[in-house]
């Protein structure tokens, strides 16, 4: 259907195309008010059409060209492009061809999948026949570009800047702008800060234009920070014609003086920890040493060429303060069977036929430590032997451990032989306290094992609980 609408008032016009009324009816052409309507256009309807006033004072010519559906020009003239953006509402109008109210199609939120060609059809009933006017609307859906808005990038609102009184301070306000009319500047307590470097505090700015954005920096400068400056609020204001103003307010605060309290507390804490550690170690050094020795395993090998860990040198005490035979056997059993020490015993390991002093020196030579034990008057070589080998022990710098009893401890030093008094000053001393020292876990055995070197690995033995019970009994 084609409608040719005359621009003149319908009461005063005459429409013609040099066709008679019969030809017009045959060709499906009719006059409706001030429009010439072709009910179904064909190529035969091509030609010139005239619209004029009845007095022929004015004329208006139409040139009608009819295209086939296969021609490119047909597609170009019948398709109406519409562009909408994703996630926005979209309205497509059916083209107005003589209708007072155009029809429309509405998308509340258009998506990319809505892209395509839509057909708009108007239908008219004339003498029992339906005639259509068809139009096509080509919808192009595009991704909406993100909105670019001017923004202050630094500082942030309510930031506090630590400053020193009397110092020079520069605070930069940076922004990204998208219009030459956008700008940033500083306010102090609501009043403009002057852009004059002769003042004590002022602001200056720089603008750097990039392809699509402008970076601007407004610097608030304090030549000398005064105490009154700490009491004010300073606002960086962004003026934008597209989105309205935005603000960032900051304050100044006096920088706190360095405090040595935390340093002092740290030093005191370290000293206290070291002191407690030292006291703990001094008090429990024997237990700690034995625990580490037992935890880490054997620490000594036979690389020094010594055969024995210790030589038990018994000497006959001139008093009854020495260890009796039962105590000596118990001492040997605990050291050998429980703690795994290899002992050289005079009455067991010294070959007969040698002189006593020479045989003792041989045992000392093969042992890492000499354990000097007082015995009751009825056994042991006596203190005279110590006098005989005193020089040799001093010369070889033999490691000595002396066992003393409580009764010997309370006696005067003058009651001991002179050689023993001299040797005891060069060695370590452990006190035997009678029955309380017989337990393998007693302080006597702990201290004795502390002074003794670690036993050789290949000779160290551990007894089962039953065996330990037998030894302590």
User: Is 25 within 8 Å of 38 (Cβ atoms)?
Assistant: no
Tokens of 252: 């100044």
HEC profile for 98-159? CCCCCCEEEECCCCHHHCEEEEEEEEEEECCEEEEEEEEEEEEEECCCCCCCCEEEECCCCC
H/E element holding 62? Answer: strand 59-64
Give me the phi and psi of 456, to 5 degrees please.
-65, 140
DSSP per position, 439-459: STTSHHHHHHHHHSPPPBGGG
Pick the CATH number of 151-254 from 3.10.20.740, 2.120.10.30, 2.60.40.10, 1.10.10.10: 2.60.40.10
pTM reported for the whole predicted model: 0.41
Q: 3-class DSSP state for residue 403?
A: strand
pLDDT at res. 409? 56
pLDDT in tens, the chain (473 residues): 888 888 877 655 555 556 666 666 667 888 877 788 888 888 888 888 888 877 767 888 889 888 877 777 776 666 778 888 888 888 887 765 544 444 567 788 888 888 888 888 878 787 788 888 777 888 898 887 777 889 999 999 999 999 999 999 999 999 999 888 899 999 999 899 999 999 999 999 999 988 788 999 999 999 999 999 999 999 999 998 888 899 999 999 998 877 778 888 889 999 999 999 898 888 888 888 888 877 776 555 556 778 888 988 887 776 657 788 888 899 999 998 888 889 988 778 877 767 777 778 888 888 888 888 888 765 555 555 666 666 667 677 778 888 888 776 544 444 455 656 666 677 788 888 888 888 888 888 888 988 888 887 544 434 333 433 444 44
SS3 content of the chain, % helix, strand, coil (to 5): 30, 35, 35
- Rounded (10°) angle between helices 356-365 and 383-396: 40
Q: Establish whether domains 78-142 and 297-472 are of one fold.
A: no
297-472 CATH: 3.40.50.10140
User: Is 217 within 8 Å of 172 (Cβ atoms)?
Assistant: yes
Q: How far is CA 109 from the centre of its chain?
A: 42
CATH architecture of the domain with residue range 78-142: Sandwich (2.60)
Domain boundaries, the chain: 2-64, 78-142, 151-254, 297-472
H/E element holding 361? Answer: helix 356-365
- Cα(382)–Cα(317) distance, rounded to whole angstroms? 7
Give me the sheet containing 183-188, strands edge to edge.
160-163, 246-254, 233-239, 183-188, 191-192
């Amino acid at each position: 259907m084609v409608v040719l609408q005359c621009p003149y008032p319908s009461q005063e016009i005459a429409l013609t195309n040099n066709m008679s009324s019969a030809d017009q009816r045959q060709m499906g052409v009719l006059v409706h008010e001030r429009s010439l309507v072709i009910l179904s256009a064909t190529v035969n309807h091509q030609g010139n059409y005239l619209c004029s006033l009845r007095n022929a004072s004015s004329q208006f010519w139409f040139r009608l060209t009819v295209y086939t559906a296969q021609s490119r020009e047909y597609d170009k003239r019948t398709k109406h492009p519409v562009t909408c953006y994703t996630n926005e509402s979209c309205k497509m109008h059916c083209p107005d061809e003589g209708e007072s109210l155009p029809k429309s199609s509405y998308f509340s939120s258009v998506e990319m999948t809505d892209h395509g060609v839509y057909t708009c059809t108007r239908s008219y009933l004339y003498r029992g026949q339906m005639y259509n006017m068809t139009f096509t609307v080509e919808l192009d859906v595009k991704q909406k570009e993100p909105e670019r808005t001017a923004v202050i990038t630094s500082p942030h609102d309510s930031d506090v800047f630590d400053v020193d009184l009397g110092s020079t301070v520069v605070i930069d306000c940076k922004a990204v702008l998208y219009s030459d009319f956008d700008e940033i500047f500083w306010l102090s307590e609501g009043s403009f800060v002057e852009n004059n470097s002769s003042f004590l505090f002022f602001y200056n700015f720089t603008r750097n234009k990039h392809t699509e954005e402008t970076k601007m920096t407004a610097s608030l400068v304090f030549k000398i920070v005064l105490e009154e400056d700490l009491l004010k609020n300073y606002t960086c204001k962004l003026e934008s014609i597209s989105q309205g103003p935005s603000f960032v307010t900051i304050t100044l605060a006096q920088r706190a003086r360095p405090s040595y309290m935390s340093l002092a507390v740290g030093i005191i804490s370290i000293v206290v920890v070291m002191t407690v550690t030292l006291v703990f170690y001094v008090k429990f050094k024997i237990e700690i040493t034995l625990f580490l020795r037992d935890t880490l395993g054997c620490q000594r090998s036979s690389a020094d060429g010594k055969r024995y860990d210790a030589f038990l040198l018994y000497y006959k005490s001139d008093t009854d303060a020495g260890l009796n035979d039962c105590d000596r056997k118990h001492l040997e059993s605990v050291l050998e069977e429980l703690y795994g020490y290899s002992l050289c015993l005079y009455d067991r390991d010294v070959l007969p036929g040698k002189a006593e002093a020479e045989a003792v020196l041989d045992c000392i030579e093969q042992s890492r430590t000499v354990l000097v034990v007082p015995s009751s008057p009825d056994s042991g070589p006596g203190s005279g032997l110590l006098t005989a080998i005193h020089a040799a022990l001093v010369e070889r710098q033999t490691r000595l451990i002396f066992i003393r009893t409580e009764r010997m401890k309370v006696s005067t030093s003058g009651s001991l032989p002179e050689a023993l008094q001299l040797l005891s000053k060069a060695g370590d001393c452990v006190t035997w306290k009678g029955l309380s020292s017989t337990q393998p876990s007693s302080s006597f055995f702990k201290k004795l094992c502390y002074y003794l070197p670690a036993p050789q690995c290949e000779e160290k033995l551990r007894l089962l609980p039953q065996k330990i019970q037998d030894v302590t009994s």
